[in-house]
Copies of this chain bind each other. A is one copy, B any other.
Amino acid sequence: MPARFLPGVRCDTVPSSSSAATSIDEEFSPLRWRGDCLELLDQTRLPAAEVWLRCTAPEEVAAAIRRLAVRGAPAIGIAAAYGLVLSTSGAESENLAEDFAAAARLLGSTRPTAVNLAWALERGRKVFAAAAPDGRDAARTALLEWARSVHADDIAANRAIGRHARALFAANDRVLTHCNAGALATGGYGTAIGVIRAAFEAGCVAQVWVDETRPLLQGSRLTAWELRRLGIPFRVVTDSSAGALISRGLVQKIVVGADRIARNGDTANKIGTYPLAVLAHRHGVPFYVAAPLSTLDADTATGADIPIEERAGAEITEWHGAQLAPEGATGMNFAFDVTPNELIAAIITEAGVLRAPFDATIAGALDTSGRR
């Protein structure tokens, strides 16, 4: 393990872009830069097939984000960063600044809830502004170096999150997780699954309960796929099973990722997260959110201010083209819900384990890391 991952080393001391490149290659990642294009593991095809998509233009990246070929707040942010690199692929005769601005707008319009997307685009704009006066090649080189560092930083952050989380676990814990907050949702290693992975390696996880996560089954399709690769024992359950499992004493910890965390700690995450937090609270089971600092949004005061994406109802009423509900039935499909801070035992970040009062601890973590 590289020295920068040692306990006590703060995330903001992390990577130069050259060491970052090594770091990306050390870890399975659902995104990879290949010469002049971004390749994405098409997550809509998992677990049946492992198909990599080649994206040579920002429009292709935006389309992949929209249709969830790449998903998970951190992974969306990284994909957008590489998408900005692709905006510089035009001919010298074209307007570089216009191409870049159009790409940033397009990528920013894909999904509203994950703040990592806006975070990456904002930083990308600064990198571009500094390099663009030196021409297209300079802009491209600077953006690629930056995108790779965003990517490597995310992996490093996830490893740090896992390291910080270990002390929260006890021997033979059974851990429940929702959706997929693993390597597939990030640059690599994962947030919630990173936590589980680190705790498992420390001998503290007996079994994982994998919520299937309707409607698109990111749990049974993706989290199960990852845990199988990692050799971590798991069983898949319906999203509505948590009450029965918790009340039978079969769940010692719940760990989820996040799409956006308001500055008071309220957390938007995949629909179904809030009910888990309510159940955990009732039964005294610790409910943890694992997320990099890039998911904390100092500009959002509370959960009520987080925009929640509503996706097509057909994701619920159809499955691979087959009708699950009667003809004419419509679905209502909020993609995320908001868990209020009082239900969260801790937010595990690369800067450490943050606890209530979250206003103060989140502000402290952001200030210390120079992220605001």
Q: Roughly how many angstroms separate A319 CA and B331 CA in the complex, as a whole number?
A: 19
Partner of A214, one of B48, B214, B278, B338: B214
Q: Do A221 and B271 touch across chains, with their CB atoms under 8 A apart?
A: no
Flag whether A102 is at the interface (Cβ < 8 A): no
Asked if residues B271 and A282 are in contact (CB atoms below 8 Å), the reply is no
Whether A241 touches B332, Cβ cut-off 8 Å, given contacts A212-B324, A326-B224, A326-B228, is: yes
Complex: chain B residue closest to A214, CB-CB: B238
Give min CB distance, A213 to chain B, whole Å.
Answer: 8
Q: Check A236 against B313 for contact (C-beta < 8 Å).
A: yes
B220/A240 in contact, CB under 8 A: no
Q: Is A366 an interface residue (CB 8 A)?
A: no
Pairwise interchain contact B338-A221, C-beta atoms closer than 8 A: no
Do B237 and A331 have beta carbons less than 8 Å apart?
yes
A315's nearest neighbour on chain B, judged by CB, is: B238
Whether A238 and B271, one on each chain, are in contact in the complex, defined by CB atoms closer than 8 angstroms, is: yes
Which chain B residue lies CB-closest to A308? Answer: B244
Contact with B along A235-249 (1 / 0, CB 8 A): 111111111110100
Answer whether A275 and B326 are a contact pair too, CB < 8 Å, given A247-B337, A317-B220, A331-B235. no
The interface size bin for chain A is 35 or more
Residues of chain B within 8 A of A319, CB atoms compared: 319
Q: Point out the residue from B236, B242, B330, B338 that lies within 8 Å of A316, measured CB to CB.
A: B236
- Are B337 and A236 in contact, CB atoms less than 8 angstroms apart? no
Within 8 A of B (CB), among A318-372: 319-320, 322-334, 336-338
> Could you tell me if B271 and A329 are in contact, using CB atoms closer than 8 angstroms?
no
For A270, give the chain B residue with the smallest CB separation.
Answer: B240
Query: Within the complex, which residue of B245, B308, B316, B326 is in contact with A212, where a contact is CB–CB below 8 Å?
Result: B316
Residues of B within 8 A of A106 (CB): none
Tell me the bound Cα distance from A77 to B9 in angstroms. Answer: 65
Contact of A271 among B213, B235, B240, B279 (CB under 8 A): B240
CB-CB contacts of A249-284 with B at 8 A, as 1s and 0s?
000000000000000000000011011001100100
Give the residues in chain B near A108, CB-CB below 8 Å. Answer: none
Q: A313-B236, A332-B235 are in contact. Are A271 and B220 (CB under 8 A)?
A: no
Q: What chain B residues lie within 8 Å of A323 (beta carbons)?
A: 47-48
Any chain B CB within 8 A of the CB of A209?
yes
CB distance A247 to B330 under 8 Å? no
Cross-chain contact B239 with A324 (CB below 8 angstroms): no
- Asked whether any CB of chain B lies closer than 8 Å to the CB of A225, the reply is yes
Check A324/B271 contact, CB under 8 A, given A236-B329, A278-B278, A334-B244. no
User: A224-B329, A239-B272 known; 4 other A-B pairs, CB under 8 Å?
Assistant: A48-B323, A215-B238, A235-B330, A236-B332
A-B contact pairs, 30 of them (CB 8 A): A47-B325, A209-B332, A212-B316, A212-B324, A213-B240, A220-B316, A221-B325, A221-B326, A225-B326, A228-B326, A228-B329, A235-B329, A236-B313, A236-B317, A236-B332, A237-B316, A237-B331, A237-B333, A238-B239, A238-B333, A241-B337, A243-B271, A243-B278, A244-B334, A244-B337, A245-B332, A245-B334, A247-B338, A278-B278, A319-B319
Could you list which residues of chain A lie within 8 angstroms of chain B, going by C-beta atoms?
47-48, 209, 211-215, 217, 220-221, 224-225, 228, 234-245, 247, 271-272, 274-275, 278-279, 282, 308, 313, 316-317, 319-320, 322-334, 336-338
> 5 closest Cβ contacts across the A-B interface?
A240-B272, A243-B274, A244-B337, A47-B326, A220-B325
